[in-house]
Amino acid sequence: MIKIAPSIFAGDFSILGQQVAELEKAGVDYVHVDIMDGHFVKLLSFGSKVIRDIKKCTSLILDVHLMIEKPERCIEEFLESGADIITIHFESTLQHKWLLNEIRGAGVKTGIALNPTTPLNVLDYLYDDIDMVSIMTSNPGLNGQSFLPGMLNKINDLQMKIIELKRPIDIEVDGSINEENIKEVIRVGANVIVIGRAFFTAMDKPGMVYNLKRMK
């Protein structure tokens, strides 16, 4: 089943509560929340308080993406924020196993994100600890990036690996996803679709979600 996860960072924070309500009305599955520290990536976003505030006004799954250096230093505050899924970047830490165990131990689903240049084989010792792999389809933390078509093979290879392992691991795609490339990422195996500006500028959001969920 295809799950749609609009990135709230692409919305309008002056009407955050209203925008979250629009996500619910549109029929999306997740609220994707990008936490950026200005170090691991250039952009700076916000902290755990915003996650807690969003949690107060929605029953949607909160998909929290930590684009921060050494997330082990502050993982506790995000575990206590109401996040349903926490994704760490493979490149951001050396404490992968420990972090994934901490996240799972708190009853939160685990995710690992891979930058475009990071190969899939870095996950070989982590699959048992992962609920979701997020493939970055553009360079993270920068505005105006283009979709990288070369990531389609990476997504397909990941799907083949998951089938081989017989594990229920979701494949998320994140980065410059729009109505022009979304069919391709779904075709090669992605089932959780992070979409930003393309969602918030759509005139008919419920119609967009309806159509995206039925793509094959």
Place of tokens 């009407």: 15
The pLDDT tens digits of the residues spanning 109-165 come to 999 999 999 999 999 999 999 999 999 999 997 777 899 999 999 999 999 999 999
pLDDT at residue 215 in the model: 84
Q: What is the mean pLDDT of the chain?
A: 96
Whole-model pTM: value is 0.96
Q: Are 66 and 48 in contact (CB under 8 A)?
A: no
Number of C-beta neighbours around residue 93 at 10 A: 19
φ, ψ of residue 214 in degrees (nearest 5): -105, 5
SS3 150: coil
Per-domain residue ranges of the chain:
3-213
Residues with a known catalytic role: 34, 174
What is the mean pLDDT of the segment spanning 15-20?
Answer: 95
pLDDT for 37 beyond 90: yes
pLDDT at residue 136 in the model: 98
pLDDT at residue 179 in the model: 84
Q: Are 175 and 76 in contact (CB under 8 A)?
A: no
pLDDT at residue 214 in the model: 87
- DSSP structure string for 65-91: EEE-S-GGGTHHHHHTTT-SEEEEEGG
CATH topology of domain 3-213: TIM Barrel (3.20.20)
